[in-house]
Amino acid sequence: MERLWAPWRMKYIDGTHRDDGCIFCKKPLENDDKGNLIVYRGDYVFGIMNLFPYTNGHTMVATYRHTAIFEELSQDEVLEMHIVSSKIIKAIKLTMRPEGFNLGFNLGRTAGAGIADHIHFHIVPRWNGDTNFMPIIGEVKVISEHIEKTYDKIIEGLKEIK
Ligand SMILES: [Zn+2]
């Protein structure tokens, strides 16, 4: 659903409100980490695989707190986001052997953020020739089977690096 600018929503961007329509708020509350592709839970942030991956293994690290404002992340959130991202990168390196990574934030829809009002850090493993990933994967069903296998790999990797 397309979101329009709505000033009344600003009161919710205060860090305490959970937005029921926001997957980064909703999924950690459900008791189904495997079904929701949550690979890691920290105290302030969690890691979740992207259901519409740019490449195989595309994972995001998001705060539990509903906020869009990068410069207002707390030190605890910033530090743990880095630490959890490092763990996930290690796990992906160990189990999927990518040749590189794209890492980063998209802030705002104009910048390409799919979910613009809840900050999340992208971890996108890269391989030579992977730009054809989506056309190769094709059907949605095939993607989900593929993602479940990749989920297991990342979980396995995370166990090994502990
Ligand atoms: Zn949210």
Tell me, what CATH number does 34's domain have? 3.30.428.10
- Asked if 135 and 16 touch (Cβ cutoff 8 Å), the reply is no
| Annotated catalytic residue within 82, 120, 122, 146 | 120
Please report whether residue 2 resides in a domain: no
Please report whether residue 89 resides in a domain: yes
Distance 19 CA to ligand 1 centre (A): 5
Report residue 119's pLDDT band, with 50, 70 and 90 as the boundaries.
very high
Looking at residue 53, what is its pLDDT? 84
Please report whether residue 74 resides in a domain: yes
58 in active site: no
> Count of CB atoms within 10 A of residue 123's CB?
22
Looking at residue 34, what is its pLDDT? 96
Looking at residue 147, what is its pLDDT? 87
Dump pLDDT digits (tens) for 44-79. Answer: 999 999 988 888 899 999 999 999 999 999 999 999
pLDDT of 107 higher than 60: yes
Q: pTM for the whole thing?
A: 0.81
Distance 52 CA to ligand 1 centre (A): 18
pLDDT of 10 higher than 50: no
Please report whether residue 1 resides in a domain: no
Per cent of the chain over pLDDT 90 is 64
Please report whether residue 94 resides in a domain: yes
Report how many domains make up the chain.
1
Task: Name residues whose C-beta falls within 8 Å of residue 135's C-beta, 6 or more positions apart in sequence.
Answer: none
Looking at residue 128, what is its pLDDT? 86
Q: Which domain, by its residues, includes 13?
A: 7-128+135-161
Please report whether residue 113 resides in a domain: yes
Distance 67 CA to ligand 1 centre (A): 7
Distance 116 CA to ligand 1 centre (A): 9
